Amino acid sequence: ALTFDDGPSVYTNQLLDILKENDAKATFFVLGKSAKVQKNTVLRTFHEGHQIGNHSWDHKDLKKLSKADIEQQINETNQTIKNITGKVPNVLRPPYGSYNNSVKEIAKMPIILWDLDPLDWKDRDAALVAQRMSEAKPNVIVLAHDIHKSTVEAMPKVISALKKKGYHLVTIDQLFAGKSLINGQIYNKRK
């Protein structure tokens, strides 16, 4: 499962074009504040069969917030996404992958982390990112960020390499099809 955090951004539509051309699906963990100003991009993402997940309102470390602030970060983002798509997200990825018992309890959603981090947030090199992402193993969740031009530029090579291995690129819901995800549980791949 390819996942993209921190968007939508100015590069998201280009990424959606690439995914569409390659018949690939992904999950977008969006920030509420970005979704609010890029409603058309969120709607396109949703209508093209990608999954929309919650990545908080404005990328604060949820573990360092009060329970009321954690609730606001999650609920305001859920409501914004519901207002745009008509559907409340069913998965949460906390910023930085940072969580504690309060986050797990307040989220009332499965928490989706990752098994492969290509460090695209640190190394803005499309070839390097493509190489790292192409090393994905079966049933893993790959972290990426659609706010980086270099990541989006890497995607045609990544998709091609993974399809050559026989992989299907799917959403989180598709990856875990037939398995019930439990609210507050942490998932980084399908076991």
User: What is the chain's Cα-based Rg?
Assistant: 15
Enzyme catalytic residues: 5, 145
